[in-house]
Amino acid sequence: MDKQSKIYIAGHRGMVGSAIWRALEASGYNNLVGQTSAELDLRNQSAVQAFIETTKPDVIIDAAAKVGGILANSQYQFEFLLENMQIQNNLIDAAHKQNISKFIFLGSSCIYPKLATQPLKEEYLLTGPLEPTNDGYAIAKISGVRLCKAIRDQYQKDFVSLMPTNLYGPHDNFDLKSSHVLPAMIRKFHEAKLNNNATVTLWGSGSPMREFLHVEDMAQAVVFALENKLPEHLYNVGTGTDVTIKNLAETVQRIVGHQGTIVWDDTKPDGTPRKLMDVSKMKTLGWQATTPLDQGIENTYNWFLSNEASYKQVKL
C-alpha cells in the first residue's frame, strides 16, 4: 500500500476510527480523510454518493456505527438495525459505484449465534439464533458482512470484514445509559470511590465470560488488513482469551482504587453466556494482539481521568 494513498475513515472521531487514524499516521500514511457527522450524514445515500464521487479515496475503512450496550441495544432495536444498515449500505454501494478496490468493514462478535460452540469460528456465522438483546445490531452487521462478500465474489474486489471482540480504550463511551460493560465499570467504580467508596451495583450474576481487546490493537489489525490482501472475506479480531465479568469487575475495582462493596443484581440479564473468539486465522497470517488486559484498563482509566470533565457525575 502506497503511503500516499487517500484513505477515508468513516467514523474517524469515534473510539475505533480515531485509533485507526493514529495508527495510520504512525505508520507513515499522511493522506487521510475524515468527515464529522455534522459534515456528512452517513445515513443519507445521496450525500454519501456525492462525497465519495468528489473525494475519490483509494481505500474506505468503515468504522462508523450506531453502538451501545445491552440496555441501549434492547431498547432501540429499530434504530440499531435501520441506521447501521443505512450507514454501511451507503458506504459499500458508493465504494462499488466509484470502483474503489479496497474496503475494510468493521463489525462485532455479536454476529455469531448466542449458543455457538466456543471459541467462535468464522464459519459459525448464520448457524443458529442470535442473542435477542442485540439482534438488531447483529443482523445489520451480518448484512454488511454478506454484502462485502457478495462484491468480493462477484466483482473480485478486495472487500474484507473484520469482526472485533469487545473493544475498549481511549475515547470510549462512558455514558452509563449507552456504554458497554468495561467503560461503564470504570465510571461506576470511579464515582463510587469519590462518594466515600459507596457500594457498586452491577448487572447480572457476574458469571458470563467475555473477551476484551484494546482499541489500539484493533487499529493495528486494520493496518495489517490494509497492507495485505487477505485471502478470505471474514476474520475474527481478538485476544483469544477471556475472563468472567466478576473477575473483570474486581480488576477494574483494583485499578481504580475503589474499596467498597460490589453487589450483583441478578434480576438483570447476563446476555450471551460466553463470547470467545477463535483468532487463529489472523494469527496464522501474522497478526496478534499485544496489550495485556490490566495494562489496557489502566491506560483507559488514565484517559478517563484526563477527560472526566466531559462526563456528568451520576447520583449513586
φ, ψ at 179 (rounded to 5°): -85, 165
CA distance 19 to 22: 5
121 DSSP assignment: P
Give the cell for residue 201. Answer: 451495583
Q: What is the DSSP string of 272-315?
A: SSEE-B--HHHHHHT------HHHHHHHHHHHHHHTGGGSPPPP
User: Residue 280: how many CB atoms within 10 A of its CB?
Assistant: 14
Give the cell for residue 220. Answer: 493495528
Residue the block writes with cell 475505533: 16
Query: Are residues 271 and 137 in contact, defined by beta-carbon separation less than 8 angstroms?
Result: no
- Going by the annotation, the residues of the binding site are 11-17, 106-109, 141, 164-167, 180, 188, 203, 210, 270
Residue 113, preceding bond cis, omega within 30 degrees? no
Q: 137 an active-site residue?
A: yes
Contacts of 235 (CB under 8 A, 6+ apart): 122, 160, 161, 162, 163, 225, 281, 282
Contacts of 45 (CB under 8 A, 6+ apart): 86, 89, 90, 93
User: For residue 52, which of 2, 19, 112, 100 has the smallest C-alpha distance?
Assistant: 100
Give the cell for residue 127. Answer: 448457524
143 DSSP assignment: H
Query: Are residues 225 and 162 in contact, defined by beta-carbon separation less than 8 angstroms?
Result: yes
Q: Which residue among 29, 137, 168, 235 is the active-site one?
A: 137
- Going by the annotation, the residues of the binding site for substrate are 188, 203, 210, 270
Q: Which residues are known to be catalytic?
A: 137
